Each structure stands twice: as structure tokens, then as C-alpha cells.
Amino acid sequence: MTDVKCLAYQYLGSKRKKKEIDTQIKKLEQQLLDTEELGNLKLLLSNEGGQKTYQGITVETKRDHVWDQDRLHEVFSTLSNEDLPECVTVKKTTTYKIDYRAFQSFAMSHPNDKTVELLHSAHSIKLGDHKIKEINQEKLTEAEE
């Protein structure tokens, strides 16, 4: 058998093993998340997302900031780009992008500004699935002792 064929078969075998390992990892992750202990962490994360740790096992729920484009268009369509708050940029002619960190800063420094209230009305958070972010083996071992 030529080197090319030999390497190709090794490659295919490795890909198959990787797929099996990935499937096993997903199954174990779900079993971990379904335990009572991590189920309690998931409950804590189910409103706002973020991450929580139990005995070295960190569970994460990602959050995406969603901005109602129709509402943003109502609010900003009459303003020129120069009059928009720093946290708002216009993409194309009808899509607004809001930098969430800049928005937080803007909202804190302008608490009584009507624009802040309008931006809040266009903002929502979409939570992702719960995931195991990391397992700290040292803390996991300490918890056993």
C-alpha cells in the first residue's frame, strides 16, 4: 500500500474516532447538566445567563442582546447620524447596531435621557443553551476530600 493510501486510511479512522468521542462528550455533558447539583445552577442562570460554579464545574449560559430593529427605526429614523448616541451606529440604511457596553455607559451617564428609556424598550436578551464551560480538576478533587 502506498504512503498516500495508508495516511488516508489513518485519517479516515481518526475522523471516525473523533466523531465517536465528540458524541460521547455531548452525552456526558448532558448527563452532568441533568444532575440535581448542576440543575440548581441552571435554575440560577435561567433568568439572566452568565456562569456559576459548583465544586470546580462551571456551567455557562450565553446571552445575546437582541435589539428590536423596528423600534430602533421609530426612535432614530428622524435623527442624523451625528445626532445618534455614541453607542448607536447605522448599518446600511435601516439597520442599527448597538454596542451594549457603550449603551450601558451611556445609560449610566445619562439616566434621565429619554433616549435611554427608548433604547431599553427596544432591548431584550436571548439566552442560549446551558453548557459546561470548564471543569477545574483541582477543585473537583478537593471537593472529594
- Considering only residues 57 and 74, tell me which one the structure prediction assigns the higher pLDDT: 57
Average pLDDT over residues 37-53: 92
Please report where in the chains the cell 465517536 appears, as a residue: 20
111 in the same domain as 94: yes
Q: Tell me how far apart the alpha carbons of residues 139 and 55 are, in angstroms, rounded to a whole number.
A: 6
What rounded mean pLDDT belongs to the chain?
A: 91
Q: Letter for the amino acid at 7?
A: L
38 in the same domain as 76: no
Q: What percent of the chain has pLDDT over 70?
A: 99
58 in the same domain as 29: yes
Residue 134 three-state SS: strand
Q: Tell me how far apart the alpha carbons of residues 64 and 75 are, in angstroms, rounded to a whole number.
A: 22
Exposure string (b/e) for 46-85, b if CB count within 10 Å is 16 or more?
eeebeebeeeebbbbbeeeeebeeeebeebbeeeeeeeeb
- Helix (H) and strand (E) counts in the chain: 6, 5
11 in the same domain as 53: yes
75 in the same domain as 115: yes
| CA-CA-CA-CA torsion sign (111, 115, 121, 127) | negative
Residue 106 has a CB neighbour count (10 Å cut-off) of: 19
135 in the same domain as 109: no
66-107 residue pLDDT tens: 999 999 988 888 888 888 888 998 887 778 999 999 999 999
Q: Tell me how far apart the alpha carbons of residues 60 and 67 are, in angstroms, rounded to a whole number.
A: 22
118 in the same domain as 74: yes
Range of the domain at 54: 3-64+127-144
Q: What percent of the chain has pLDDT over 90?
A: 68
Burial of residue 88 (CB within 10 Å: 0-12, 13-18, 19+) is: buried
Q: What is the pLDDT of residue 53?
A: 95
Total number of domains constituting the chain: 2
